[in-house]
Amino acid sequence: MKITRFSRIGFIIAATGSAVGLGNIWKFPYITGEYGGGAFVLVYLVTVLLVGFSTMIAEMLMGYLGRMDTVSSFEKLAPAKKHLWKFGGFESLAGLFIMIFYSVVIGWIFNYIITSLTSLPATPKEAENVFNNMLHTDFTTQFFYHTMAFVWITYVLNKGLKSGIEKMNFYLMPALIIILAGMFIYATTLGAFSQAVAFMFTPDWSKITSEAFVTAVGHAFFTLGLGMGTIMTYSASLEEDANLVKNTFWVVFFDTAIAIVAGLMLFTFLYQYGSGPAKGPGLVFISLPSAFYEMGLLGNVFAIFFFIALAFAGLTSSVSLVEPMIKYFIDRFSWSRLKASISMGLFFWFFGIFAILSNIDGAKEYLTWGDKSFFDWVDYVTAAIMLPLGGLIIAIFVGFVIPKSKVESVMKSQLKWAFEPWYFSLRYITPIAMCIVMLSLIGIL
């Protein structure tokens, strides 16, 4: 079998593309708004450093040692109990499930790129109507753009690791960074910039509830793309002499920097032209467009570029969400890439239609259970249960199942004095943190 692998820099760009997604630019600012800024940001940053960083190294190590799809890598690294541990590899399913709503949101973004070309809503009320009309009544538009996202993502995946995934990341990631940097520089010249800085970096501990704490920890996992085999799948093609710590450092650095930059920029615009930090998923789709309107012509240009950047961030994450299952079917069942890409694509496309319907008036009644629509359930089950569980499994697997000598043989020279603290954090800090997150999110704690 021909082995296609990322180039050295291609790996870092693709892994960064995976990490930097809707989570950074859409979700991080609105949950920061929701939980009151400073203190929340601090909890998130500490989690990224203490838990995220060490788990990413562990997941990368598993791919590096396993060299196969996630299920086979688990089997290979735990030969004595492979029939049990192979189930760990099915954490990759989380990516396909996430795609069910991720692709729908990318569709909304496509729609916003097109509508920003012609007009922006003049008032927050109007912006809210536009968004809610799309969400609750306009099945056709959502279906159309969701299908476009499916076609794009499937096309790239079918082209393979190097000429598909690496190449797309190679163009889209620099474009994304240039757009955000340009808008960020403009934001720093506005009077409201210092207000945005104060909002994001002055901790007000009274605002940190246990829910805020848990959300910050869960988000650190989601945004780094941990616990569902993405990094493991990408790192299965690393060179023998790859430095896992350096790779991890760059991915974590870019992911965090882009979230902070996006947050500062959006809050500056909202202070300057809107009504201050907004909350909830509508921040980017409701509060922001009307702030852009207030900005005048430049706002129109910014709106178009902003949604393009957001779409790029989403697309480069999407391919990483689907690739683990594609690799599984290719490696274990000898499927062709075409067959695997189309099947996985059709899976999230098909269920995505129900995610759309679950917000549409007249249909949503049939697709809502408890207080959540099908769309919300998929988001909740993946973020609250599957990713923390995946992270927990990886930490325990590298911390206790793979012999320490094997872990040491690769990591000691790269981590040096930090090896023992890293190992300790994998064995104890991460598992405990993950259990707390899961139990709280499913409502037991």
State the minimum distance, in angstroms, from the CB of residue 5 to ligand PHE.
19
Distance CA 29, CA 36 (A): 11
Tell me how far CA of residue 406 lies from CA of 62, 65, 414, in angstroms. Answer: 11, 9, 14
State the minimum distance, in angstroms, from the CB of residue 228 to ligand PHE.
5
Nearer to ligand PHE, 284 or 321 (CB): 321
State the minimum distance, in angstroms, from the CB of residue 380 to ligand PHE.
14
Please give the structure tokens belonging to residue 21: 């997604």
**Contact residues: ligand PHE, CB under 6 A:** 18-19, 21-24, 95, 222-223, 225, 228, 230, 317, 320-321
Nearer to ligand PHE, 199 or 222 (CB): 222
State the minimum distance, in angstroms, from the CB of residue 205 to ligand PHE.
26
Nearer to ligand PHE, 23 or 263 (CB): 23
H helices of 295-363, where? 297-333, 337-357
- CA 263 from centre of chain: 16
Distance CA 400, CA 397 (A): 6
Contact 141, 135 (CB under 8 A): no
Compute the CA torsion angle 382, 29, 223, 281 (nearest 10 deg): 20
Residues 6 or more apart from 155 whose CB is under 8 A from it?
164
Nearer to ligand PHE, 19 or 57 (CB): 19
State the minimum distance, in angstroms, from the CB of residue 223 to ligand PHE.
4
In DSSP terms, 372 is beta-bridged to 369
**One-letter identity of residue 94:** A
Length in residues, the chain? 445
H helices of 37-77, where? 38-47, 53-66, 70-77
Nearer to ligand PHE, 99 or 208 (CB): 99
Nearer to ligand PHE, 28 or 199 (CB): 28
Nearest Cα neighbor of 50 from 220, 226, 245, 250 is 220
State the minimum distance, in angstroms, from the CB of residue 386 to ligand PHE.
10
Nearer to ligand PHE, 40 or 222 (CB): 222
State the minimum distance, in angstroms, from the CB of residue 220 to ligand PHE.
10
Nearest Cα neighbor of 29 from 283, 276, 211, 213 is 283
Q: What are phi and psi for residue 20, nearest 5 degrees? A: -80, 110
Contact 67, 73 (CB under 8 A): yes
Nearer to ligand PHE, 17 or 37 (CB): 17
State the minimum distance, in angstroms, from the CB of residue 94 to ligand PHE.
7
